Homo-oligomer: A and B are copies of this chain.
Amino acid sequence: MTYELYYWSGIQGRGEFVRLALEAAAAPYVDVARERGDAAIFALTGAVATPSFAPPFLRDGDTFVGQTALILDYLGPRLGLAPRDPRLRLWVRQIQLTIADCVTEAHDTHHPLGAELYYEDQQDESRRRAELFREHRVPRFLGWFETVLARNPAGGPWLAGRRPSYADLSLFQLVTGLDYAFPNLMRRHLPAYPGVAALAARVRALPNIASYLASDRRLPPNQSDIFRHYPELDERTSPLPRD
């Protein structure tokens, strides 16, 4: 059975969290919009009884699943990327939803007023939102992931249980995205979260993930994506000139 992933063809975006799971498990899938164009996305939502609000969504035979965290929960047991223990599986789902919250906040650093306006039309607001994100939210999220890793009842080195789950793949993607968007911030502060840094490196080295990242299926980050690099939104490495 071949999964069909529906997501915008030009960006990693939220679809990437799903791609990483499919790739890690070497699952057969079609990245529909890359093959048939983005119009295929709307063609599907217009036709089904359960039309997702927004991509990504997944088709598995006659089952349709939308919302990134839910797609991953659906795929997790099928791809061997979720713990079998129901309580741990519940925990992985909670972790994934928290990753999703952080992804939304990372997006909103360059679109604090709304996705309907260009970045250039909300640049001052972006500066202010990004500053709060860097100073308050990134430390809070990374600190939480560090705690989760330290408290893993199975002893680690993964977020939950003894084997990598889709949440581990997603945390890698989050760290990668933050590295791209906020290189100064992350270079200076990620070492304070050694568990998170080690986990990201461990995921990057998983054979199927390493192959995927080296392939042309992995799109490079770009300025239409969720994680964008605007130097003015990153931490400064030298102090501001005084007025």
Contacts and interface: CB of A to CB of B under 8 A. Distances in A.
A149 to B, nearest CB: 12
Contacts of A137: 114
Interface string A56-70: 000000010111011
Nearest to A153: B49
A144 interface: yes
The count of identical subunits is: 2
B52 A94 contact: yes
A18 to B, nearest CB: 14
A134 B29 CA distance: 38
B112 A136 contact: no
Interface in A80-108: 87, 90-91, 93-94, 97-98, 101, 104, 108
A38 B148 CA distance: 22
A133 interface: yes
17 contacts: A49-B152, A50-B94, A50-B148, A53-B141, A63-B90, A67-B94, A67-B98, A69-B97, A70-B94, A108-B108, A112-B129, A113-B125, A114-B129, A114-B133, A114-B136, A117-B132, A122-B128
Interface of A: 49-53, 63, 65-67, 69-70, 74, 87, 90-91, 93-94, 97-98, 101, 104, 108, 112-114, 116-117, 122, 125, 128-129, 132-133, 136-137, 141, 144, 147-148, 151-153
